[in-house]
Amino acid sequence: METELRKPLAEENLGLVHLCANRFRGKGIDYEELYSAGCIGLLKAVKVFDPDRGVKFSTYAVPVILGEIKRLFRDGGAIRVSRSLKELSLRLQKLCGDFRQREMREPTIAELAELSGESEEDISEALCVSQPLLSLTAGDDNEGQIDVPTEAPDEAIVDVLALRQIMSGLEQRDRALLELRYFRCLTQSKTAKALGMTQVQVSRREKKLLSAMREELLK
């Protein structure tokens, strides 16, 4: 039952993986590998996420996804996929092909589980880490990807989510200081007055907090 309840979390938040993977595009590792590593992070986040903590899933998942992608760089760009998972992936590809030819549609995870005799969790993992990527900018005539120059907000969205995660762990006074300075756009003097501090204290504390948060974001 728990797996059934958590499955939609992974399916509905694959967009987060694309956002995180795009942040590292062009940095030496193929996008497909970045996406696969991000999917592993997403599945890990789904398994341990506790909604009772009052944190949105996206806020919790982004640092986990980013961590798995960064691990890929530390490991030299190699995603370690077990032999059994590779074999399951190949078997699922054949089952999917046979199902599409027979039913003229894509099979659901539940249907693949019934056909293969594997758990839905194992099937989700196999599909997530190995399925080919679909281009969101592909033409209708299947002539391949059409590059449309545009400034995508992906990196900014990821940074905001990661920043929210870090801020949620700050002490209340520090969080209030940053909210007054950067969300309400108050000057250091007005912030100091609101918090019962001096302008110098606000300046020093702000500098220290920003430095620590910058290091955390770059990990």
Q: When comparing pLDDT for 154 and 27, which is higher?
A: 27
Distance CA 125, CA 129 (A): 6
Residue 147's Cβ-side half-sphere holds a number of Cα atoms within 13 Å equal to 1
Which residue from 81, 95, 84 is spatially nearest to 130, judged by alpha carbons? 81
Question: Within 10 Å of residue 20's Cβ, how many Cβ atoms?
Answer: 31
Distance CA 88, CA 51 (A): 31
Structure confidence at residue 197 (pLDDT)? 92
Query: Over the stretch 51-105, which tens digit does the pLDDT of each residue have?
Result: 777 777 888 888 888 888 888 777 665 555 566 777 787 888 888 888 888 888 8
Q: Chain-wide mean pLDDT for the chain?
A: 75
SS3 (DSSP) at 48: helix
Structure confidence at residue 140 (pLDDT)? 45
Percent of the chain with pLDDT over 70: 72
Distance CA 34, CA 24 (A): 8
Q: When comparing pLDDT for 178 and 163, which is higher?
A: 178
Between the two ends of the chain, the Cα-to-Cα distance in Å is 36
Structure confidence at residue 160 (pLDDT)? 62
Structure confidence at residue 195 (pLDDT)? 92
The answer to whether residue 196 scores a pLDDT higher than 50 is yes
* 183 DSSP 8-state letter: I
Q: Of 42-46, 57-61, 118-122, which gets the smallest average pLDDT?
A: 118-122
Distance CA 30, CA 84 (A): 23
Structure confidence at residue 200 (pLDDT)? 92
Query: What is the pLDDT confidence band of residue 181, given thresholds at 50, 70 and 90?
Result: confident
Query: Over the stretch 129-174, which tens digit does the pLDDT of each residue have?
Result: 554 444 434 444 444 443 433 344 445 555 666 666 677 778 889 9
The answer to whether residue 199 scores a pLDDT higher than 70 is yes
Question: Within 10 Å of residue 63's Cβ, how many Cβ atoms?
Answer: 21
Q: What is the mean pLDDT of residues 4-29?
A: 76
Distance CA 189, CA 211 (A): 21
With beta carbons less than 8 A apart as the criterion, state whether 81 and 100 touch.
no
Structure confidence at residue 28 (pLDDT)? 75
Distance CA 71, CA 64 (A): 11
Structure confidence at residue 142 (pLDDT)? 46
